[in-house]
Structures are given as structure tokens and as C-alpha cells.
A = this chain, B = another copy of it.
């Protein structure tokens, strides 16, 4: 590297900065909009909704806490607080685990399923109008690829989030 180059990547050029500033605006405004819609219409945060949705898609509507934390992109602490609040509202219940007595399962109650089903149409409609329909189908594909690339950097070990990209269990490969 020459002596008079910018040190280690340096600042952002104007195009990079403009893209970053717009993206930051989305990072601030979109979660706020999702929370606002769900709180107003269903008295749920977006994270609450997500927890209920992940439970509803599982066998017996039951998921191990540590697994649920991973699926909802949350720390164990955050999930524990949220599950406690949802349990007070009788939307979920906690069940002690028989095979591993350190663990516990969260389970969606009937009342929780009813809450989710009453909230879902409004929420899905909101997501459709504000995100899906705002983008062309090419842009939606691009967004998925971009999100994958970002998650590889933010969470390289895959501790959080849905299974992504092309590496499910690429341990036995030759590369």
C-alpha cells in the first residue's frame, strides 16, 4: 500500500453515505411503524406477534425457550421477559421440560392462537402494503440476497435468525 493512501478503507464516499443514510432511516422508521400498527390494532408489539407466530407454526404450538430465542432473533433475557408478560395475559404458558430439567418450553394457548388469528390479517395487510407491494419482484429478490449478505456479517455463527443462504450444515463438504 502506498504511503499517501487513505488508512484502512477510510471514510465512505458520497454514494455509500447516501445509501447508508437512507437505510438507517428505514431501520428507525419501519420497526416503529410495525410496532405502532400492532399496538393500536391488537395490543401487541411486533416482537410479541413474532413470538406468537413462531409458536403457532410449531408442532403442538410448543418450542424450547433457547430455540425460540434463536428463531425470534432475541437474547434469552429478552425472550424470558416477553414470555413472562405474555404468560400473565394467558397468551402463552410455560411447561417444565421432562428430558432436560434445566430447560423449559413455551406453548401457545388457545387464547393466544385466537389473538394471533385476529391480529394476522391486519398485520399481513400492513406488511404487504408498506413493504411487499412497495417493491418490484426483482427488488424483493434483491432484498433477500442483501439481507443474507448482511446476516453473514452481523451473525456469522448463525446464532440467530432463520436458516439462510446456502450453508445449512456444510460441515461435511470438501471445500
Contact = CB atoms under 8 A, between A and B. Distances in A.
Contact of A129 (B132, B140, B149, B153): B153
B128 A9 contact: yes
Interface in A125-146: 125, 127-135, 139-146
A29 interface: yes
Given A73-B28, A161-B25, A161-B29, A131 B153 contact: yes
Q: Is the interface of A mostly helix, strand, loop or mixed?
A: helix
Nearest to A162: B21
Interface residues on A, range: 35 or more
26 contacts: A8-B125, A12-B127, A12-B128, A15-B144, A18-B162, A19-B144, A19-B147, A20-B131, A21-B162, A22-B143, A23-B131, A23-B144, A23-B147, A24-B73, A26-B154, A27-B27, A28-B47, A28-B160, A29-B151, A31-B31, A130-B150, A130-B153, A134-B149, A139-B145, A142-B142, A142-B146
